[in-house]
Structure 1
Amino acid sequence: MGSYAYRYCMCFTRKFRSPDAHPPPDVRAAHAAAGAAHGDDGLRRFLADVQREDPAEADRVLAALAGGGAAGGIARFVGRSPAAALPTLDDFFGFLFSPDLNPPISNKVHQDMSAPISHYYVFTGHNSYLTGNQLNSDSSDVPIIAALQNGVRVIELDMWPNSAKNCVDILHGGTLTAPVEIMRCLKSIKEYAFCASTYPLVITLEDHLTADLQAKVAGMITETFGDLLYVPSSDTLNEFPSPEALMKRIIISTKPPQEFREFLKAQDNQKIGGNTDKLAEEGNLRRIDSNADDSDGKDDPDDEDDEESEEEDPKFQQDTACEYRKLITIHAGKPKGHLKDALKVDPDKVRRLSLSETQLTKATASHGADIIRFTQKNILRIYPKGTRINSSNYDPMKAWTHGAQMVAFNMQGHDKSLRLMQGFFRANGGCGYVKKPDFLLKTGPNGEVFDPKASLPVKKTLKVKVYMGDGWRMDFSKTHFDAFSPPDFYARVGIAGVRADCVMKKTRTIEDQWVPVWDEEFTFPLTVPELALLRVEVQEYDMSEKHDFGGQTCLPVMELKQGIRAVPLHDRKGNRYKSVRLLMRFELI
């Protein structure tokens, strides 16, 4: 082999036979075809014909190769000609196996960002301040910072009076979680709000405060965020602003406070007030009552989140400074009465409604079409049921297929569901906003909408070929998988999506190899490719114990770059390994 194989052999220090890091047959064939057919312009032709890159992206790749850096030793082959002379086979293989030069999805925002926020899925956290479980972990700004660094665009803060009743703490009320001061959270949010994405950051405030503390919070928010804070010009909106219009802005979402008639009269005298009836009803959805039958979304007690289980305690209905109310861009409400009424679309205003995961399941069984119509204009937030005290999560697909924009997740969970969420929001450059499919935004002439329960024909077919993997020798200790021999790796490849599309398949196990070569192809027919995720896992087979984890990733199917790609793998928490990657091929027909 050439320099590529030499570098790999130098990293391989165990006293076993050297790995076979040879280019797979498809790579050899592509290299030969490019050289035979196109001569000095072979690499550019390969990028266009096999990888299906547009000219601008091809130019970027060629420039990166010419500039060295991540390309390392393979930069020399493009220095000979602006047209990019064909590299050697080993250099060509090295380029294809580099996730930085040849990634599986784009890292650029490419979707239309000028539609109302209600037209997008938004990367949403639940109880963002908790460091661990929902019952007795500490509250801190550290998980908030981590969430923002990972691209989360909705941060949730539960506000409670501190022990002295003179300031505000953030904690999970009714539990043993230790508090953190609100100012610490606000300052960290300001510092890290746009470190991973320049698109708007939403702060959902769960308000358990008295009127004087609400006014105090309004002052803290205004002073801390300054010009970053978006303050709507009107008390009500008939359409949400777009992500593009709110670039690098922070917006607030919470339940509007309950002003009394006397307070409004006082404000009217100062020419600041408004319509009493309008303010009294705004943001207040009728609660699902105990007499509602199951078809109207009656919920179980253990499914209730603090926001939704909060009764109309008189202390929350006192006069509140107008400064607090005017900061609210997304008015939130809780369902009261019949769910069908709560889901009615008001042509004159938009709002946010929250349901637990269990409420959603019941609601979709009887009011699926109403939910989709509601989410075409308004925002629906789904949150984990209260029994998930270990910070686990739920399957987000039911919420996504019904148009729910804010599917709130416990970012401490590190389970399969969270990996799906992380993969879903790798779309659109990882900016935290993903445009909903057109079929969820359209209404037919007779009011008909998409039916997630319908039997649908196959729309696209994804072909996935798993060539090989490498990098475990660099990222894991030599005895991590087995103390006495190299690992026995196999890969699992499948689809997470609507029920008809879900499937997992696996390769054969390659024994005693740090660089497994599978060279196996799988075919996945897809009825709703727009919401499908490609799941990839690598396991190390162990006869006597549970199989060892070797890496995973989830990638949005419609974002996959076609052709031969280097796919970086991540750990269970979603952190990308430095070296572990697979060489794969994608074709979407």
Structure 2
Amino acid sequence: ISPTWFWSLIQNDFKTGNIDLEGCMRLLEKMQIPFDEAHLTHIFKKTVDKHSGQRISMEDFKAIYRAIVHRSEFQELFRAYSPDGKILPDSQLIKFLVKEQFHTEATETTAFELISKYEPIDEVRKKKQMSFEGFVRYLNSEECSIFKMQHKTIYQDMNHPLCDYYISSSHNTYLIADQLMGPSHLWGYTSALLKGCRCLEIDCWDGYNNEPIVYHGHTLTSKIPFRSVIHVIDKYAFMSSAYPLVLSLENHCSPKQQEVMAECLKSILGDKLLTSPIGGETEMTRLPSPEALKFKVLIKNKKVGTLEEGMLRTDDEAGAQTLADTVADAEDMSDSDSLSDEDTDETAALYQTGSPSKRRGERKSSSSTPPKKSKVKQPKIAIALSDLVVYTKSSTFVSFEHSMENQKCYENNSIGEAKARKFVRHSAKEFISHTTRFITRIYPRGSRMTSSNYFPQDFWNVGCQMVALNFQTPGIQMELQDGKFLDNGGCGYILKPEFLRDRNTTFTPKNVGAYSKPMSLSIRLISGHQLPPSRLSKTNKADPLVQIEIYGVPEDQAKKKSSVVKSNALSPRWNETFSFNIQVPELAMIRFCVEDEVSLVNNEFLGQYTLPVLSLNTGYRNIPLLTRDGIKIESASLFAHVWYY
């Protein structure tokens, strides 16, 4: 460390004598050095144990700083390029960028930009050089993250029709726990929107005083006013993304309260609410693009009649309407089951009584013979709400053949996970042909009482746009979701690969054929830094290992495991190389998961990071780590060398 630079930085804090642990933490924060409290406490204790007392001198602080900041693996790299082991001239920095970071276009300008950004020592910076201090700051920066910088911005073409994108979608957005007893809460909407979610679900039921409410029907989950939900959506709709937000209404309200819903949507959302087709065109052959629908909220619900009739009504609103005009039979709609979007058969199991065998019999017969026209009164739909549906009309899924012959481009289907999984297994080609044309939403089965999630990858593989997950439930499924939607600036829309947009595609996940663009990926896992200590450790210890997993088409699924480093969470070293052959990189995700080996059969989760394979940066890269809830662990990271061709 340049002594003058370092002393001038810290001497003020030592004016009144030696400092304690808290002073040490404050000083590191001032120097913007991320640290884990358990690790710092351990290093501090080791330092003060050398001499009695609870305070440290400037020399001691320098040793602590070195223990946290000066990593040996960084020093090895620095020395390989520095002529004297102290300074990196700009020419050597360029060499490092080209040779090690595969930054082939690196020039003097690139080097100067990095030096002025990361070099903390004035006199070194003025000479256009980089010290080890600057080099460390560069290697720990976003610039050296394993996630490509370019992919943190919106770089994809946003002018394709809506059905050409994966759309970040949430299920039961109002729940923040399980779906039987858990609380419904506005935070569910706020947090999903802040995560860039672009399709929210609102479960609406009749409430008191003609005020619709939102909750998980027929359960003990708490209730929130529909009006409050729309206020929150109005406030946060476009905070994380400018692209269209879809409100998927799970509608169980009477026509009277549906009118209140329509009024709420119009008065609260105002101009944000899309109420008629762009440019007034009613004869549509393709959906508009996310670009064309920026800052618009779209309503996804059942609809009566055509777009044209709706628009004529809007022009005619001044005319007095009788009650008969404001309500229509669901019979008039193309679907006749219910106003709710999600199949009742998935949730039926929850509410049916009677012997299971009898039930099974009933269900079998109902699936093989067409259902008889029931005498049950059809649900009614309020015209006012129906007219707010433009590009996202919910339409009951009958069969791929039926959709091909009858479905309009603005009609979309919701398919339960069990049925969808069967299609993936037995009719992948037809399923993909369907998703090239129509927005398809997948939702978790109703019997997932704890709001657990299914694996979204299987449905992304066949081009499903809205793969709705319970955002409130942490786990690998949500980690894949969050990782996938980090891409394209985190805007919640990701352009599907060409072979899932082309209507004549012959691609299927099990038979990738000519669509394969094999990638050979090599990852040298070098080290970890300030990993979270094990819950079982009284100090700062863990026995860490790293799992590297690939998710994608079936033949790309893979899992590899590093060795275990015993009792070292501060600075474990692995230096192990893992190779993967990936047939369809466009669909592949990679997950790094750090675990503490508690016993031979049991590991404790310490942190993870998931990202699309095509967003991987090559060269020496730091891998941030997130908690189970997806929150970045500021001080913890892995260090690896990534290469692919």
TM-score, normalised by the number of residues in structure 2: 0.76
Is 1:460 equivalent to 2:519 in the alignment? Answer: yes
Residue 276 of structure 1 aligns with which residue? none
Residue 80 of structure 1 aligns with which residue? 126
Q: Deviations over 1:29-55 (max 9, x none)?
A: 76359999x952443454355334486
Pick from 55, 71, 75 the counterpart of residue 21 of structure 1: 71
Q: Deviations over 1:441-481 (max 9, x none)?
A: 1244xxx5212221656611111121111133xxx5x7745
Q: Deviations over 1:213-262 (max 9, x none)?
A: 22221111111111222223255643221111122221111111479xx9
Secondary structure, aligned partner of 1:87: strand
Residue 140 of structure 2 aligns with which residue? 97
Is 1:217 equivalent to 2:261 in the alignment? Answer: yes
Residue 120 of structure 1 aligns with which residue? 165
Is 1:31 equivalent to 2:87 in the alignment? Answer: no
Q: Work out whether residues 425 and 433 of structure 1, in 8 Å CA contact, stay in contact via their aligned partners in 2.
A: yes
Q: Work out whether residues 384 and 394 of structure 1, in 8 Å CA contact, stay in contact via their aligned partners in 2.
A: yes
Identity of aligned residues (%): 27
Is 1:171 equivalent to 2:202 in the alignment? Answer: no
1:414-453, aligned counterparts within 5 Å? 414-444=474-504, 448-453=505-510
Pick from 533, 538, 542 the counterpart of residue 598 of structure 2: 542
Q: Deviations over 1:529-585 (max 9, x none)?
A: 111111101112223883222210101100112111111100011111111111122
Pick from 93, 101, 111 the counterpart of residue 43 of structure 1: 93
Alpha-carbon distance in structure 2 between the residues aligned to 1:39 and 1:423: 37
> Match of 1:529, as an amino acid?
P
Is 1:136 equivalent to 2:181 in the alignment? Answer: yes
Q: Work out whether residues 283 and 332 of structure 1, in 8 Å CA contact, stay in contact via their aligned partners in 2.
A: no
Alpha-carbon distance in structure 1 between the residues aligned to 2:605 and 2:89: 43
Q: Work out whether residues 302 and 385 of structure 1, in 8 Å CA contact, stay in contact via their aligned partners in 2.
A: no
Q: Deviations over 1:375-423 (max 9, x none)?
A: 1121000000111110110111221111100000001110111111111
Q: Which has the higher helix share?
A: 2
Alpha-carbon distance in structure 1 between the residues aligned to 2:623 and 2:112: 20
Q: Work out whether residues 189 and 229 of structure 2, in 8 Å CA contact, stay in contact via their aligned partners in 1.
A: yes
Secondary structure, aligned partner of 1:188: helix
Residue 581 of structure 1 aligns with which residue? 637
Q: Deviations over 1:478-524 (max 9, x none)?
A: 77451267322211112111221111112122223211111211111
1:502-521, aligned counterparts within 5 Å? 502-513=557-568, 514-521=570-577
Residue 411 of structure 1 aligns with which residue? 471
Please state how far the C-alpha of 1:287 moved relative to its aligned partner.
Answer: 7.0
1:79-478, aligned counterparts within 5 Å? 79-80=125-126, 85-99=128-142, 102=145, 104-106=147-149, 107-164=152-209, 166-233=210-277, 234=281, 237-257=284-304, 284-285=334-335, 317-318=379-380, 320-322=382-384, 324-336=386-398, 339-344=399-404, 349-444=409-504, 448-454=505-511, 456=513, 459-472=518-531, 476=532
Please state how far the C-alpha of 1:349 moved relative to its aligned partner.
Answer: 3.5
The change in CA–CA distance for 1:380 and 1:286 in structure 2 (over 3 A counts) is farther
Alpha-carbon distance in structure 1 between the residues aligned to 2:348 and 2:437: 30
The change in CA–CA distance for 1:266 and 1:66 in structure 2 (over 3 A counts) is closer
Residue 291 of structure 1 aligns with which residue? none
Residue 619 of structure 2 aligns with which residue? 563
> Match of 1:132, as an amino acid?
A
The change in CA–CA distance for 1:66 and 1:373 in structure 2 (over 3 A counts) is same
> Match of 1:91, as an amino acid?
G
> Match of 1:558, as an amino acid?
L
Please state how far the C-alpha of 1:112 moved relative to its aligned partner.
Answer: 0.8
> Match of 2:589, as an amino acid?
L
Q: Work out whether residues 66 and 78 of structure 1, in 8 Å CA contact, stay in contact via their aligned partners in 2.
A: no
Is 1:488 equivalent to 2:546 in the alignment? Answer: no
- Which stretch of structure 1 is more off in the superposition, 204-213 or 1-10? 1-10
Q: Work out whether residues 519 and 644 of structure 2, in 8 Å CA contact, stay in contact via their aligned partners in 1.
A: yes
The change in CA–CA distance for 1:112 and 1:48 in structure 2 (over 3 A counts) is farther
Alpha-carbon distance in structure 1 between the residues aligned to 2:374 and 2:634: 51
> Match of 2:163, as an amino acid?
S
Q: Deviations over 1:65-97 (max 9, x none)?
A: 524xxx4x646477326xxx3423453233112
Unaligned runs of 5+ in 2: 10-27, 48-63, 322-328, 352-366, 368-372
Pick from 511, 517, 527 the counterpart of residue 583 of structure 2: 527
Q: Work out whether residues 153 and 489 of structure 2, in 8 Å CA contact, stay in contact via their aligned partners in 1.
A: yes
The change in CA–CA distance for 1:382 and 1:420 in structure 2 (over 3 A counts) is same
> Match of 2:522, as an amino acid?
K
The change in CA–CA distance for 1:506 and 1:479 in structure 2 (over 3 A counts) is closer
> Match of 2:101, as an amino acid?
Q
Q: Work out whether residues 90 and 112 of structure 2, in 8 Å CA contact, stay in contact via their aligned partners in 1.
A: no
Q: Work out whether residues 27 and 93 of structure 1, in 8 Å CA contact, stay in contact via their aligned partners in 2.
A: no
> Match of 1:80, as an amino acid?
K
Q: Deviations over 1:338-377 (max 9, x none)?
A: x233432658533110111101011223332222112112
Alpha-carbon distance in structure 2 between the residues aligned to 1:10 and 1:181: 47
Alpha-carbon distance in structure 1 between the residues aligned to 2:603 and 2:312: 69
Secondary structure, aligned partner of 1:246: coil
Please state how far the C-alpha of 1:156 moved relative to its aligned partner.
Answer: 0.5
Alpha-carbon distance in structure 2 between the residues aligned to 1:57 and 1:320: 64
Alpha-carbon distance in structure 2 between the residues aligned to 1:384 and 1:401: 17
> Match of 1:421, as an amino acid?
Q
Aligned length: 553
Secondary structure, aligned partner of 2:599: coil
> Match of 1:125, as an amino acid?
S
Please state how far the C-alpha of 1:101 moved relative to its aligned partner.
Answer: 5.8
TM-score, normalised by the number of residues in structure 1: 0.82
Q: Deviations over 1:134-171 (max 9, x none)?
A: 1111211111101111111111101111044x120011
Q: Work out whether residues 546 and 594 of structure 2, in 8 Å CA contact, stay in contact via their aligned partners in 1.
A: yes
Q: Work out whether residues 331 and 378 of structure 2, in 8 Å CA contact, stay in contact via their aligned partners in 1.
A: no
The change in CA–CA distance for 1:461 and 1:313 in structure 2 (over 3 A counts) is farther
Unaligned runs of 5+ in 1: 274-278, 289-296
Alpha-carbon distance in structure 2 between the residues aligned to 1:219 and 1:242: 27
> Match of 2:605, as an amino acid?
F
> Match of 2:518, as an amino acid?
K
Alpha-carbon distance in structure 2 between the residues aligned to 1:53 and 1:206: 50
> Match of 1:92, as an amino acid?
F
The change in CA–CA distance for 1:209 and 1:523 in structure 2 (over 3 A counts) is same
Q: Work out whether residues 464 and 521 of structure 1, in 8 Å CA contact, stay in contact via their aligned partners in 2.
A: yes
Alpha-carbon distance in structure 2 between the residues aligned to 1:153 and 1:411: 12
The change in CA–CA distance for 1:59 and 1:178 in structure 2 (over 3 A counts) is farther
The change in CA–CA distance for 1:422 and 1:266 in structure 2 (over 3 A counts) is closer
Q: Work out whether residues 623 and 639 of structure 2, in 8 Å CA contact, stay in contact via their aligned partners in 1.
A: yes
> Match of 1:13, as an amino acid?
F
The change in CA–CA distance for 1:418 and 1:348 in structure 2 (over 3 A counts) is closer
